Amino acid sequence: MVADDPAVAVAEPKVPASSVTPEIQIELYRLMVRIRRFEEKSAQAFMRAAIKGFCHLYIGQEAVAAGALSVLEPRDAVITAYRDHGIALARGTPARPCMAELFGKQTGCSHGMGGSMHLFDRAHQFYGGHAIVGSHTAVAAGLAFAQQYENTEGVTLCLLGEGAVNQGVFAETLNLVSLWKLPIVFLIENNDYAMGTSVSRSSAGLPLVNRGSAFDMAGRVANGMDVEDVRAKVAEAINLARTEHLPSLLEVHTYRYRGHSMSDPDTYRTKEEIEEHKKGDPILLYRRRLEERHVLSDTLAKEIDEKARAEVQDALSFAEQSPEPDLDFAFSLRFSVEDQIDPIPRPRYSDL
């Protein structure tokens, strides 16, 4: 799997011809830059303790979200794990409610109840942000089940970390989706590490894409440092799901530059390893390629960057200035309003 090594990708002698229009190329680039700037801003805010709890950055993995989500339609459903900022942005959730959620504010996309790991945006068919490793893969199957049940012709894209493949529920779920031919794509973001455990220390039977074979699932591997490769492979898989109701399993090789979360001292890998991967940076790589294709000028690249910086600065100010939710609001979220039966009494069981 030499082609998946980003260091090799950088050294590619020829620029591959692109199957995507210049407009889309620019948008892919812009999205990756927006995600990177958002994450850098989040990191700063976390360092000054304005963001609390866990905060898992997407830096290094931008091409996965940008490429994969770029082929989806509005009727499709997206669900992911807790490293979700980039996914929400790629799905169309504006930076303001994303950042406000990291700050735990009322204006956050989950109204301050979810935090960094639990971004949700129903309007964009983004079904979260899930922090129990592997748990959401079964939920994803249910989204696809419902799409099939309702004949929407929508499909579900479920992203998961490579650490999640060793959860039992994931194996159960692969069996179900294959057995029932559900319109779903599982995309493993293989960034080589689950916290401090490298794939080779956690997983037998590599490559991980093999995990689908026992269930007869179509498998594909993509280079997650190459946004167009991700886009192309995901497009094939989505097409298979939409037109033939066949699920697939994609393994996308990527790398995270930062620690597992902001609280990770990152002692399980060397500085050299990280630097080596940065040479194959997805944004840098794509910028060079677009310049060679004369799609992106220096001026436009600068403009994109400035806009992204302004956008996340605005999101930060918005988050800082937004009000906090209150306890009564939190209680109001416990239950949905009944409209087919009489209201159910909902005591709080605590008056002290």
Partner 1 sequence: MAKITYRQALNQAMAEEMDRDPSVFLIGEEVAEYQGAFKVSQGLLQRFGAKRVVDTPISEAAFSGLAVGAALYGLRPIVEFMNWSFSFVAFDQLVNNVGSLRFMSGGQFSLPMVFRGPSGGGTQIGATHSHCPESWFAGVPTLTVVSPAFPEDAKGLLKSSIRSNNPVFFFEGERLYGLEGEVPDGDSLTPIGEARVCREGGDLTIVSGGYSTHTAISAAETLSANGTEAEVIDLRTIKPYDFDRIAQSVRKTNRLLIVEENKPFAGWGAQIAYDVQRRLFDWLDAPILRVTGLDLPQPYNGKLEAQVLPNVERILAAARQLLA
Ligand X SMILES: Cc1ncc(C[n+]2csc(CCOP(=O)(O)OP(=O)(O)O)c2C)c(N)n1
Site for partner 1, rule CB under 8 A: 77, 79, 108-114, 118, 120-122, 127-128, 130, 132, 135-147, 149-150, 168-169, 172-173, 175-176, 179, 330, 332-342, 344-347, 349, 351
Task: Report the nearest approach of Mg ion to the CB of residue 130 (Å).
Answer: 15
Question: What residues from 184 to 243 belong to the interface with Mg ion (CB under 5 A)?
Answer: 191, 194
| Candidate list 67, 86, 115, 163; residue touching ligand X; CB under 6 A | 163
Residue 6 binds Mg ion (CB under 5 A): no
Sign, CA dihedral 78-87-227-33, equals positive
Distance between CA atoms of residues 84 and 103, nearest Å: 15
Q: Decide whether 132 or 179 has the Cβ nearer to ligand X.
A: 132
Distance between CA atoms of residues 194 and 196, nearest Å: 6
Q: Decide whether 7 or 149 has the Cβ nearer to partner 1.
A: 149
Task: Report the nearest approach of partner 1 to the CB of residue 31 (Å).
Answer: 23
Tell me, residue by residue from 143 to 162, as one string, x for binding to ligand X by CB under 6 A and - for no binding: ------------------xx
* Other beta carbons within 10 Å of 223: 25
Q: Decide whether 267 or 350 has the Cβ nearer to partner 1.
A: 350
Distance between CA atoms of residues 327 and 313, nearest Å: 29
Task: Report the nearest approach of partner 1 to the CB of residue 132 (Å).
Answer: 5
Q: What is the DSSP string of 49-66?
A: TSS-S-----TT-HHHHH
Cα of first residue to Cα of last residue in the chain, in angstroms, is: 61
Number of residues that bind ligand X (CB under 6 A): 13
* Other beta carbons within 10 Å of 134: 20
CA angle, corner 160, sides to 53 and 84, nearest 5? 40
Sites of contact with ligand X (CB under 6 A): 83, 131-133, 161-164, 191, 193-195, 260
